[in-house]
Structure 1
Amino acid sequence: MTEAIHTFDDNEQVSVRCVLMRGGTSKALFFQEADIPPPGPARDRFLKRAMGTPDVLQIDGMGGSRLVTSKIAIIKKSGRSDADVDYTFAQADVERDRIGYDANCGNISSAVAPFAVDEGLVAAIEPLTTVRIHNTNTGTLLVSKVQVKNGKARVLGDCAIAGVPGTGAEILMDYTDTLGAKTGKLLPTGQPVDTITLEDGHRIEVSIVDAATPCVFIAANSLGLTGSELPSEISADRALIETIGEIQSKAGARIGLYKHWKDMHLPGLPLAVMVAPPADYADTNRKTVKAADCDLRARLVFLGKCHDSMAGTGSMCAAAASRVPGTLVNTAVGERAGTDTLRIGHPLGVMTVKVVARAGDTPGSTRFDALGLQRTARRLMDGMVYVPREAD
């Protein structure tokens, strides 16, 4: 442990300063990197103990028993000339003894700039501070614009996002520099549609796209779904989850994320996104989402569970895929792909993302003048998290 970590209770526990923040529709513990162990087993043990992983309730830690509330952000000033801060995202598994660093979280990314401003890691410039964020998980650069007042990130505002009660100060996130985030290519296989053959012989068409994070897109009806199912229904269908996991694993191996598909069971990457054309559906709060209010229905699965809403990076990848000719997302969106936004109908409502594309000579050479979204974020608590000394 570093000098910034303090002892407590006759050296039986260590305490580390952290901040609990909501970013978009997720929550995370935010740490300054100097306050926690360096990358490696000691860091992983500390983070798992802080979150209460593995335990489905995470009762002995700060996690909230769901993947969207079991996230971690590690921040420091950047040494890069093109970035202000370095940001490492970590996903604490709930059921498995695992901390994952293989992807970024778009929702938590939206809280990085407010954290950096409030912690004094970047200069607060009123009324709008631009923060260049180097995401170490993907090696990409995100640009965040956060409203500032009296030297702190603003909280109050009129920006509403589906899945978060009330409104808040708008945060603009720019993902145009994230094409090929993990593989170096928008279409890692070079094709807008590939076929995955399952072990039972079934052949499933997919689109593998890498923008913000790699995703494997699957037409909902090819899995026997309508596209309107809710997370509890999807996660409870273990046969479906295993099938989706097999598709993810085989797609991930195909694009070089790991050596063999059997090496990964119910992986985090690529994110699996089931897509369907617009239709009326009831969201988690039993409110009706009208077909006219969305351009696409999407349900996202990672680590063997269906996301409660829609991952920020997954939404960016879906938006990019919607403008790539021939992808399953492009087909599902249809003529609505001619606008400069994509409205994604997810389990908690509709999120709107900005997407302006320029056609290339091939689908894989599609480029983007705009790829981003609006989020809100808020500091919920700051203080010390206590971890038993055995985790030191």
Structure 2
Amino acid sequence: MHEFEKIRSSIIRGGTSKGVYIMKKELPNDETVRDEVISSIFGGADERQIDGLGGANSLTSKVAIVSVSNRDDADIDYTFGQVDITTGRIDYNSNCGNILSGIGPYAIDEGLVSVTEPVTSVRIYNTNTNKISIAEVPVQYGRAKSDGNYSIDGVPGRGAKIVLDFLDAAGSKTNSLFPTGNRTDTFEIPGYKTVEVSIIDITAPVVFVKASSIGLKGTELSSELTEEQSDLLETIRGMAAERIGFVEHYSEAKYTTPSTPKAIIVSDAETYITESGTKIEDSSINLTSRAMSMQKMHKAFPVTGGLCTAAASQLKGTVVYNCSQDTANIKEVVIGHPSGTMEFVIDIEDDGTNVIFNKTAVARTSRRLMEGYVYVPKELFWNIRDKVI
């Protein structure tokens, strides 16, 4: 019969994702044991995640590890982990902006930061990328507000508007805006053809490919992407991972770094029907885009990948720039995704050689869904002396 350890945690919807938020002190110090514990929390190597808190989807199989920061420029340290629903492995190679949107409210409600009404600024250091973000969180009666009038496509209802400003956004994981040194690269896809891509690192490393160059319309929904097309996009993503030094051979990327770099499909602004049946007019967006998440199409759009996409739409000579509609001199870029649209505040100066980032920001909503204890088999901790009590 199993004996169990109790780990205090919260389930929070952040943006269009949902994750388990845990204080770092609740987890073992040993990283191998920590990951076994986190995998158990989500249900282990089981696509249904029936024996854990995961939602059997990459967008709901995410963990946030939180602690008070010792840094002078940050209030909170935050580590993001993407939990693979098929293997139970945790990928720490990127940030997640949707889960990030829940960090400020979590820190406020847990009493980790000083509160100022009506808005509290929380400085968040992301350990995955060594970057700082500032979350502007509405507060009432000393707690983060969840109700409000702001809505985001992909989430029912409305909520309090949380503004996330990503500071020093370029080179989040590769220390370079253009990790290969080029604004476009050419990939010789084995058994396919030559494809032009752009590999850009702004809040997250992303490989962009134009939909028409791989036989897509760009308006596909998640159910319409074939297995062959998904495999092709994974090959492109893996080749980008190899090109920027994440793996030695592109075939390894699916297993060793399944969530990073991200693969995003772009096309000109198109009129299309969303996952929920809503019509998006081409005149209401600047470009159409689809993102891959753990080898499947994202049903909405990732925040970090979205910021990278919006910023890339203003970078001359990139695949994204060449698809974009009138983004050269605007500060708000609207992207059409499978669940609707997403707006980004982008202020970039690009003379073709030097790029200056003045602002990369996005608004989200968040809501705490549950708090309590998750039970983990005690044998995972046996012979481990460094578990923080």
Partner of 2:182: 191
Matched, 1:293 2:284: yes
Partner of 1:80: 71
Structure 2 gaps of 5+ residues are: 382-389
Partner of 2:348: 357
Tell me the CA shift for residue 308 of structure 1: 1.3
The 2-side partners of 1:196 and 1:132 are apart by 39
Deviations 1:87-139 (A, max 9, x none): 00011111223111111111000100000011011111111111111100111
Deviations 1:145-182 (A, max 9, x none): 10111111111111111111111111000013221001
The 2-side partners of 1:356 and 1:261 are apart by 34
**Is the 2:108–2:144 contact (alpha carbons within 8 Å) kept by the matching residues of 1?**
yes
1:322-337 equivalences in 2 (<5 Å) = 322-337=313-328
Pair 1:201–1:230, CA change in 2 (3 A):
closer
Q: For residue 362 of structure 2, what is the amino acid of its counterpart? A: L
Partner of 2:62: 71
Tell me the CA shift for residue 307 of structure 1: 0.9
Partner of 1:390: 379
The 1-side partners of 2:44 and 2:232 are apart by 26
The 2-side partners of 1:338 and 1:65 are apart by 41
Matched, 1:376 2:350: no
Pair 1:156–1:201, CA change in 2 (3 A):
closer
The 2-side partners of 1:201 and 1:300 are apart by 21
Tell me the CA shift for residue 302 of structure 1: 3.0
Aligned partner (choices 144, 154, 158) of residue 149 of structure 2: 158
**Is the 1:209–1:321 contact (alpha carbons within 8 Å) kept by the matching residues of 2?**
yes
Tell me the CA shift for residue 361 of structure 1: 4.8
Matched, 1:243 2:232: yes
Deviations 1:281-338 (A, max 9, x none): 0100011111111111111113211111100101011011111101111111142332
Deviations 1:234-261 (A, max 9, x none): 2xx2211211111111111111222332
Partner of 1:3: none
Aligned partner (choices 311, 316, 325) of residue 320 of structure 1: 311
Aligned partner (choices 245, 262, 277) of residue 268 of structure 2: 277
Pair 1:334–1:326, CA change in 2 (3 A):
farther
The 2-side partners of 1:213 and 1:263 are apart by 20
Partner of 1:6: none
Aligned partner (choices 210, 216, 221) of residue 225 of structure 1: 216
SS in 2 for 1:264: helix
Aligned partner (choices 29, 34, 49) of residue 20 of structure 2: 29
Deviations 1:326-379 (A, max 9, x none): 1111111142332111111101000111111112351xx322211110000011
The 1-side partners of 2:281 and 2:150 are apart by 21
The 2-side partners of 1:190 and 1:299 are apart by 25
**Is the 1:49–1:391 contact (alpha carbons within 8 Å) kept by the matching residues of 2?**
no
**Is the 1:175–1:316 contact (alpha carbons within 8 Å) kept by the matching residues of 2?**
no
Partner of 1:311: 302
Structure 1 gaps of 5+ residues are: 1-9
Quick check: 299-308 or 203-212, which moved more?
Answer: 299-308
The 2-side partners of 1:137 and 1:184 are apart by 13
Q: For residue 370 of structure 1, what is the amino acid of its counterpart? A: K
The 2-side partners of 1:330 and 1:154 are apart by 37
**Is the 2:268–2:287 contact (alpha carbons within 8 Å) kept by the matching residues of 1?**
yes
The 2-side partners of 1:259 and 1:137 are apart by 21
Quick check: 257-266 or 52-61, which moved more?
Answer: 257-266
Tell me the CA shift for residue 73 of structure 1: 0.2
**Is the 1:72–1:92 contact (alpha carbons within 8 Å) kept by the matching residues of 2?**
yes
List structure 1 runs of 4+ shifted beyond 6 angstroms: none
Matched, 1:173 2:164: yes
* Identity rate, percent: 39
SS in 2 for 1:331: helix
Partner of 1:141: 132
Matched, 1:111 2:84: no
TM (normalized to structure 1)? 0.94
The 2-side partners of 1:298 and 1:272 are apart by 11
SS in 2 for 1:200: coil
Q: How many residue pairs align between the two structures?
A: 379
The 2-side partners of 1:232 and 1:330 are apart by 27
**Is the 2:58–2:85 contact (alpha carbons within 8 Å) kept by the matching residues of 1?**
yes
Partner of 2:241: 252
Matched, 1:102 2:93: yes
SS in 1 for 2:135: strand
Matched, 1:55 2:46: yes
Partner of 1:4: none
**Is the 2:169–2:357 contact (alpha carbons within 8 Å) kept by the matching residues of 1?**
no
Matched, 1:209 2:217: no
CA RMSD of aligned residues (A): 1.3
Matched, 1:366 2:364: no
TM (normalized to structure 2)? 0.95
SS in 2 for 1:309: coil
Pair 1:239–1:11, CA change in 2 (3 A):
closer
SS in 1 for 2:101: helix
